[in-house]
Structure 1
Amino acid sequence: MKCPFCNPDRGSVLYEGKLVRILLDGYPASRGHLLVVPKRHVESWDEIRWEEKEALLRGIELAMKALKDSLKPDGFNVGINLGEAAGQTVPHLHVHVIPRWKGDCKSPRGGVRKAVLDLEDENLSMKERWERNRLNGNEIQKLKHHFDKLINAMRDV
């Protein structure tokens, strides 16, 4: 299988650094759902180097800042599915950064614990929701613009 994170569709790449890239999720749980992915193909947490872990944390922060500036969410779910039993479907380590808004689901209580408690996530139950959650071209350009601004500001420090 060709790894979708090692060879991403160029239209889904919002940021590419030395060790990580930030991608639009192909099946977004919410509008602006992003993935922070090591550029090197690694399948598990045990395989990743310390400098890649640090880059992932910086990538999460960068993704949240760009999303806050462009889409103005009320909160975030951030998580990693490690292993098939935990719901990992692509065998390449990746971190989900999922923006959340008040009222975007009936009951946000429990957040990421819903998967462990085997509760239905009404945001993921239908293909139509994934399609509705995808950003349009203007929204993607706005998000890319905010990534560029943040990267340039970091260089000035």
Structure 2
Amino acid sequence: MECPFCNPSEGSLLYEDELIRILLDGYPASRGHLLVVPARHVERLEELEEEEKVAMIKEIEMAMEALKRTLSPDGFNVGMNLGEAAGQTVPHLHVHVIPRWRGDCEKPRGGVRKAVLDIEDENLDRKERWERNRLGEEERVELRKALLALR
């Protein structure tokens, strides 16, 4: 399998530098759902070099700030699925940065714990929602501009 994070599509790649890429999630849980991934293919957190770990945190902050400037979310879920048992589907380390808005789901309480508690996430149960959550070209351009401005 070719790694979609090592060779991202032009439409999904919003930002990259020598260490990190910021991508649009292909199955977004919300509008603007981003992935922060190391440019180097690594599958596990412990495989990262120290400079990559520092860069990941900085780029998570940069992703959040760009989303604040372009989409004005009320909050964020930020997290990783480490290993297949934890729900990881692409074997390349990545951090989800999911913007959230008041009222975007019926029961936000529990946040990322819903997966562990085996509770249905009403934002991810239908393909139509993934389609609705995808950003249009104009929004992608604005998000790219915001990320580049934060360099």
Q: Judge which range, 89-98 or 43-52, deviates more.
A: 43-52
Q: SS state of the match for residue 150, structure 2?
A: helix
Structure 2 residue aligned with 1:135: 135
Question: 1:27: how far off?
Answer: 0.5
Q: Report the TM-score when normalising by structure 1.
A: 0.94
Gaps of 5+ in 1: 152-157
Matched to 1:56, the amino acid is M
Matched to 2:71, the amino acid is L
After the TM superposition, list the runs of 4 or more consecutive aligned residues in structure 1 that deviate by more than 4 angstroms. Answer: none
Q: SS state of the match for residue 93, structure 2?
A: coil
Matched to 1:94, the amino acid is H
**How far apart, in 1, do the equivalents of 2:50 and 2:148 lie?**
26
Matched to 1:97, the amino acid is V
Question: 1:118: how far off?
Answer: 0.5
Structure 2 residue aligned with 1:86: 86
Structure 1 residue aligned with 2:124: 124
Structure 2 residue aligned with 1:15: 15
| Cα-to-partner distance string for 1:61-111 (whole Å, 9 max, x where unaligned) | 000000000000000000000000100000000000000000000010000
Structure 1 residue aligned with 2:4: 4
Question: 1:145: how far off?
Answer: 1.4
Structure 2 residue aligned with 1:155: none
Whether 1:28 aligns to 2:18 is no
Matched to 1:53, the amino acid is K
Question: 1:149: how far off?
Answer: 1.6
Matched to 2:147, the amino acid is F
Gaps of 5+ in 2: none
**How far apart, in 1, do the equivalents of 2:149 and 2:43 lie?**
31
Question: 1:50: how far off?
Answer: 1.2
Q: SS state of the match for residue 23, structure 1?
A: strand
Whether 1:46 aligns to 2:46 is yes
Structure 2 residue aligned with 1:108: 108
Matched to 1:116, the amino acid is V
Identity over aligned pairs, percent: 71
